């Protein structure tokens, strides 16, 4: 019933009467072997069970065919969607993806980087942890192998290839909309755990000033557990609403998860944000978190183009792997536009 198990290519070669190097070539690319031989090998593989040893194949190749990916959190659909897209793009490009999660811990992030170096991955795609990331680790990664940063870029490493969203554009888009339809927005920030947080904040302030409005940022003071954005948004706004503050303002949230918390705070205080209510409370987010269409009211936001970012990151990395020259003093930066998603909350 169960096929006989064969462990090495050598045994396999005697079992089906083809030389071992021919098998080696077959498993790397069947086109490098005569069609008739391919048939014979495939027929042989029907009769026995054999999988080439992953480590042995990688040990002595010039290219491992592996792309390493590091994401900061696993409990955030933003990053899992990004990872999903990256995995699909990499698979299409013929690469195997090994993904690691930093779990909010710089030590784990550093360990993952070391693992990638020790695996001689062909390249690495990293969504950094944020302020606490060990810059030295990233720097070592950059100098040793093809390396592209995704989603957020530390100011401390301006010499790295980068793919992400144009936050000036995307934040500007939603601010313009909010200002056009009603009062200029307050910015509900998130704890400054990563560079996007600061970048968002800065983009908001710049745009407000260029429009001639006074920027107003709230929510930076709260020291929250990492990653609990919803709780943060709710707690901050609950505080203001309790004092009757901002109950009739536009509130732009740093991201949708903060926005979901904001919606919750509004509901708790009997407030219903929405663009239909003139002069009333309006709440908007950023990212187009997958759950936005299902909140009550549905959250108006700016969509990041996960798909484009994932694809661009992979294809740029593959370019570099294939020998594209990168200039550390002038790295390629690809920024994608956000798209306004008008729903109910603003």
Partner DNA sequence: ACGTCAGTTTTACACGTGTAAAAGGGAGGA
Partner DNA sequence: TCCTCCCTTTTACACGTGTAAAACTGACGT
Residues that bind DNA (CB under 7 A): 7-10, 17-25, 27-28, 32-34, 36-37, 52-53, 56-57, 59-62
Q: With binding defined as CB under 8 A, does residue 20 bind its own copies?
A: no
The verdict on 276 binding its own copies (CB under 8 A) reads no
Under the criterion CB under 8 A, does residue 80 sit at the interface with its own copies? Answer: yes
Q: ω before 297 within 30° of 0 (cis)?
A: yes
Site string for its own copies, 125-154 (x = CB under 8 A): ---------------x--x-----------
- 67 in Cβ contact with 145 (< 8 Å): no
87 binds, among its own copies, DNA, none (CB under 5 to 8 A by kind): its own copies
300 forms beta bridges with 284
Piece of 55-63, 177-185, 198-206, 240-248 that binds its own copies (CB under 8 A): 55-63
**Residue 34: which of its own copies, DNA, none does it interact with, CB under 5 to 8 A by kind?**
DNA
Q: How far is the CB of 16 from DNA (least distance, A)?
A: 9
Of 174-182, 214-222, 292-300, 327-335, which segment contacts its own copies by CB under 8 A?
292-300
The distance in angstroms from the start CA to the end CA of the chain is 63
Nearer to its own copies, 135 or 209 (CB): 135
- Whole-Å CA distances, 97 to 73, 76, 122, 145: 17, 19, 10, 15
DSSP-derived 3-state class of residue 292: helix
Q: How far is CA 197 from CA 42, 171, 178, 220, 279, in A?
A: 54, 12, 20, 10, 28
Stretch of 174-182, 197-205, 261-269, 278-286 lying at the interface with its own copies (CB under 8 A): 261-269
Q: Are 283 and 249 in contact (CB under 8 A)?
A: no
Angle at CA of residue 303, ends 203 and 222, nearest 5°: 50
Nearer to DNA, 3 or 32 (CB): 32
For the bound state, the minimum distance from the C-beta of residue 19 to DNA, rounded and expressed in Å, comes to 4
Element (DSSP H or E) covering residue 199 = helix 195-210
Q: Which residues contact 294 (CB under 8 A, 6 or more apart)?
A: none
What share of residues in the chain are helix, strand, coil (percent, to 5)? 45, 15, 40
CB 236 within 8 A of CB 229: no
What is the closest distance, in whole angstroms, from the C-beta atom of residue 230 to its own copies in the complex? 5
Per CB under 8 A, the list member of 49, 158, 176, 245 interacting with its own copies is 49
Candidates 114, 135, 159, 324: give the one binding its own copies (CB under 8 A).
114
Please give the residue ranges that form the binding site for its own copies (CB under 8 A). Answer: 2, 49, 51-56, 58-59, 64, 74-75, 77, 80-81, 83-84, 87-88, 96, 98-99, 101, 103, 114-115, 117-120, 140, 143, 230, 234, 260-261, 263-264, 267, 290-291, 293-298
């Amino acid at each position: 019933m169960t096929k006989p198990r064969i462990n090495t290519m050598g045994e396999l070669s005697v079992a089906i009467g083809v030389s071992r190097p021919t098998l080696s070539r077959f498993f790397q690319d069947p086109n490098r072997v005569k069609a008739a031989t391919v048939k014979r090998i495939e027929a042989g593989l029907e009769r026995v069970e054999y999988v080439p040893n992953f480590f042995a194949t990688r040990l002595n190749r010039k290219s491992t065919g592996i792309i390493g990916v590091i994401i900061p959190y696993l409990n955030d659909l933003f990053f899992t969607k990004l990872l999903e897209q990256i995995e699909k793009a990499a698979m299409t490009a013929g690469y195997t993806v090994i993904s690691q999660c930093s779990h909010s811990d710089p030590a784990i992030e550093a360990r993952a980087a070391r693992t990638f170096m020790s695996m001689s991955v062909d390249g690495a795609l990293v969504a950094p942890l944020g302020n606490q990331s060990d810059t030295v680790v990233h720097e070592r990664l950059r100098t040793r192998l093809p390396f592209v940063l995704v989603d957020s870029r530390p100011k401390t490493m301006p010499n790295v290839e980068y793919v992400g969203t144009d936050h000036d554009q995307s934040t500007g888009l939603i601010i313009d909309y909010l200002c056009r339809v009603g009062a200029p927005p307050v910015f509900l920030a998130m704890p400054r755990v990563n560079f996007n947080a600061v970048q968002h904040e800065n983009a908001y302030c710049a745009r407000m000033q260029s429009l001639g409005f006074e920027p107003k940022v709230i929510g930076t003071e709260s020291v929250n557990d990492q990653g609990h954005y919803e709780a943060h948004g709710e707690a901050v706004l609950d505080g203001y609403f309790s004092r009757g503050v901002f109950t009739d303002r536009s509130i732009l949230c740093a991201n949708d998860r903060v926005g979901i918390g904001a919606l919750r705070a509004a509901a708790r205080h009997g407030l219903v944000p929405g663009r239909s209510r003139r002069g009333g409370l309006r709440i908007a987010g950023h990212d187009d978190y997958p759950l936005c269409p299902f909140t009550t009211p549905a959250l108006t936001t700016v969509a990041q183009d996960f798909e484009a970012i994932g694809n661009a990151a992979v294809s740029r990395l593959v370019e570099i792997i294939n020998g594209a020259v990168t200039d550390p003093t002038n790295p390629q930066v690809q920024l994608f536009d956000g798209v306004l998603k008008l729903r109910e909350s603003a």
